[in-house]
Amino acid sequence: MSILIFISIGFISEAQLNINHYIRVGRTRISIENYVGAIEYFNIVIKFKPYLPEPYFYRGVAKHQLEDFRGAINDYNKAIEIKPYYPEAYSHRGMAFHSLKEYKKAIEDYNRALELNPDNEAVYNNRGLAKIALKDVEGAVADYNKALKVNPKSTTALMNRSNAKIIKGDMRGAINDLNKIIMIRPHFAGAYLNRGLARFEMNNYAAALRDYDLCIKFAPKNALAYNNRGIVKHKLGDFEGAIMDYDMAISLDPKQANAYFNRAMAKEILGREGFEKDYKIAALLNPQYDLSNYKIDSGQLAQNSKQKQGSQQKQQAQQNQPGQANQTAQPPANQQTNKQQGSASNQGGTTLASNQPPKDAADGKEKEKEKAERLRRRKINLIIADNRNLPADDEKEVEDGKIQNKNIIIDLQPIFIISAFEKNAVDYERLQYYNNAIEALNRENNYNPMLTITNKSNEGYMETFNNFILYYNERIKIKESSHNFVNRGIFKCLTGDYNSALDDLNRAIEMEEKNSLAYFTRANARYKMIEHIESLPDFSKQLTVALNNSEDTRDDNDSQMQQMINDYNKILDDYTVALFLDPHFFFGYYNRAYINLRLARYNIAMNDLNKAIELEPEFAEAYFNRGLTKIYLNDLEGGALDLSRAGELGLHDAYNIIKRYCN
């Protein structure tokens, strides 16, 4: 059981009471697993006190828990830059590097942390894990010994050392360590599971069975224990009991491939239906169990059997274990196989291929094929599962604050449009960005709701929007001005009346060619019209050209596609004019990038997103879209850092994408 340990850190002392309050609340939110809420508080501290190391460190801890390891490393870097003698920052940065499988960097940070605090048990344990990952087992054992010197009753160090001993093949030494753990924590299910594994490797099946029984007693929902107990029963010839345990393991963990594979073997021995299906499921869940990877040439089977029969019989006589098959397939790295015993299928009464020729050629060919298939299956042994990569505690992990595990639909953040909210509205997810042009428009209008630029939907105001259309109808009767047409066009666009909105915006531009918001809104109206058309159920059918369609039909569809491309070009032209009139209008760069991304013009889009972020360094949506684009272009490092910044600024879906595509 590999255990990375987060280190307990004391409170800090700052002169300003309000800063203490924000840091204290942020740390409390970390402790209750409200990690995104903690980040919000540390952002406030960093904004007003950017020279303090602690808020960077704690924000890094929150990101770390959200599995935003690169973002966490950036924050740990900043904390260390401000405070070079900061052992906690080094140790946590080491853990972040460890999670990214950069083990040498992790060890460098652990070394630095131990230079500053040589009595830190947790860092010795973590450095040992990094050394195990680099196959330095002796070095890892030395670190676990040092951790035990600091704390002789450290069950974490004992568990880690027992794992290292199992890797070395020192089963007795591992069992001694596990016995000590059980004396300290008699109800620690993980210790019984690992001791059962070690005893299984020593062929002490009765003792292994008792350990798995105890593990299940203390952790009745431990799927690994059921799988392993099933294997012991399988080895002892209790195939019915084994199948019951495999059933339980699968019900608790439907993705446990080895349980399907083991159950398939037991079913095949008993002649039960469904073993083929179990083999297929195991292969789908883990290619390691794909039987097609272990094909045997049936034409050479008889010859191989003749050559090996004598040596096998001699070996079987010496070991007093008839029917032992050779094992060649290796299990996944986080699992253990029985390296000393052969397949349980052989012990259940099946035999290796015969070297006697068949009486009937057709029957013989079929039997040869069947024997080849059986031998191929025996190339993979029963797969025993262990818990050496699981957390030390057998309590269920709380997931409430780990929003990176939430299922989301991955898509670009949408375009920004001019919309309206009540002055005191709280029914939208995050504060809107400030823009001088919109503020000027609001001052001139002097009404509620206020106009704002947002990419959030606002369907609850439809009645209000329609009322304002009526209001501007009357205003336009009194005075036809660019200002009035722009406002009415905005509200018509919000109600989905795009054609009429375009008419108003065209009039506004005719009357005032330098009205940047009119160009921006007209581009948005054109895009929303295309978006609406594309969402219609029959849209894709309209653009599908069958092979037997006439030339006229194909010409019509080509014409439709060309029209759509022309519409996108008009949208881009309007954004370009808006930016020419107002070069600091970062929403224009963002929206233009969005359209270019839809047209697969990635490099052009990246330039616009870079400019948008340059003008608005806290533009979360721009970081989000740039991060997705970088990932698509195989820049995982850059994509992860951009998504980390987006998550830090409030777009929490970014953490899910980081976990799924960047770690």
Q: Is residue 569 part of a domain?
A: no
Q: Is residue 624 part of a domain?
A: no
* Distance from C-alpha of 135 to C-alpha of 129, rounded to nearest angstrom: 10
pTM attached to this predicted model: 0.72
Q: Is residue 52 part of a domain?
A: yes
Instruction: Name the residue type at position 244.
Output: M
* Distance from C-alpha of 258 to C-alpha of 239, rounded to nearest angstrom: 16
Please check whether residues 82 and 197 belong to one and the same domain.
yes
Please check whether residues 243 and 273 belong to one and the same domain.
no
For residue 287, what are the domain limits? Answer: 248-305+332-386
Q: What is the DSSP letter of 326?
A: P
Report whether 595 contacts 571 (CB < 8 A): yes
496: phi then psi, degrees, rounded to nearest 5: 90, 10
pLDDT tens per residue, range 608-635: 999 999 999 999 999 999 999 999 999 9
Q: Is residue 567 part of a domain?
A: no
- Specify the residue for token string 């929003």: 403
What's the confidence (pLDDT) of residue 354? Answer: 25
Q: Is residue 372 part of a domain?
A: yes
Cα angle vertex 312, ends 307, 313, to 5°?
A: 110
What's the confidence (pLDDT) of residue 433? Answer: 77
What's the confidence (pLDDT) of residue 372? Answer: 59
Please check whether residues 120 and 212 belong to one and the same domain.
yes
The residues pairing with 384 across neighbouring beta strands, listed in sequence order, are: 336
Could you tell me the CA-to-CA distances from 232 to 256, 263, 538 in Å, in that order?
A: 17, 13, 59
Report whether 76 contacts 51 (CB < 8 A): no
What's the domain count of the chain? 3
Q: Which secondary-structure segment (H or E) carries 336?
A: strand 335-337
What's the confidence (pLDDT) of residue 65? Answer: 93
Kindly report the CATH number assigned to the domain that includes residue 164.
1.25.40.10
* Distance from C-alpha of 8 to C-alpha of 591, rounded to nearest angstrom: 45
Report whether 382 contacts 234 (CB < 8 A): yes
Domain boundary among 536, 558, 588: 536
Could you tell me the CA-to-CA distances from 214 to 73, 176, 484 in Å, in that order?
A: 41, 18, 78
Report whether 237 contacts 215 (CB < 8 A): no
Q: Is 636 exposed, middle or buried (0-12, 13-18, 19+ CB in 10 A)?
A: middle
Please check whether residues 228 and 353 belong to one and the same domain.
no
Please check whether residues 515 and 366 belong to one and the same domain.
no
C-alpha radius of gyration, the chain, whole number: 33
Please check whether residues 381 and 300 belong to one and the same domain.
yes
Report whether 571 contacts 531 (CB < 8 A): no
Residues of the chain short of pLDDT 70, as ranges, are: 1-17, 294-401, 405-408, 422-432, 536-564
Please check whether residues 24 and 172 belong to one and the same domain.
yes
From first CA to last CA, the distance across the chain in angstroms is: 21
Q: Name which of 533, 490, 495 is nearest 508 in CA terms.
A: 490
What's the confidence (pLDDT) of residue 175? Answer: 95
Please check whether residues 296 and 338 belong to one and the same domain.
yes
Report whether 243 contacts 263 (CB < 8 A): yes
Could you tell me the CA-to-CA distances from 170 to 137, 176, 198, 403 in Å, in that order?
A: 12, 10, 9, 41
What's the confidence (pLDDT) of residue 312? Answer: 43
Please check whether residues 347 and 365 belong to one and the same domain.
yes
Q: Is residue 560 part of a domain?
A: no
Please check whether residues 258 and 194 belong to one and the same domain.
no
Report whether 589 contacts 608 (CB < 8 A): yes
What's the confidence (pLDDT) of residue 532? Answer: 80
- Specify the residue for token string 């789908």: 284
Please check whether residues 121 and 138 belong to one and the same domain.
yes
Please check whether residues 88 and 207 belong to one and the same domain.
yes
Q: Any idea how long the chain is?
A: 663
Report whether 618 contacts 638 (CB < 8 A): no
385: phi then psi, degrees, rounded to nearest 5: -105, 145
Q: Is residue 274 part of a domain?
A: yes
- Specify the residue for token string 């209750």: 32
Report whether 591 contacts 575 (CB < 8 A): yes
Domain boundary among 213, 247, 281: 247
* Distance from C-alpha of 537 to C-alpha of 628, rounded to nearest angstrom: 28
- Specify the residue for token string 């008792």: 210
Domain boundary among 472, 506, 536: 536
* Distance from C-alpha of 449 to C-alpha of 442, rounded to nearest angstrom: 9
pLDDT tens per residue, range 306-335: 454 444 433 433 333 323 222 222 333 333
Q: Which long-range contacts (CB under 8 A, 24 or more apart) does 23-29 make?
A: 23/54, 23/55, 23/58, 26/55, 26/58, 26/59, 26/62, 27/58, 29/62
Q: Is residue 382 part of a domain?
A: yes
Q: What is the DSSP letter of 292?
A: G
Between β-strands 383-385 and 335-337, what pairing exists: parallel, antiparallel or unpaired?
antiparallel
Q: Which residues contact 286 (CB under 8 A, 6 or more apart)?
A: 257, 258, 332
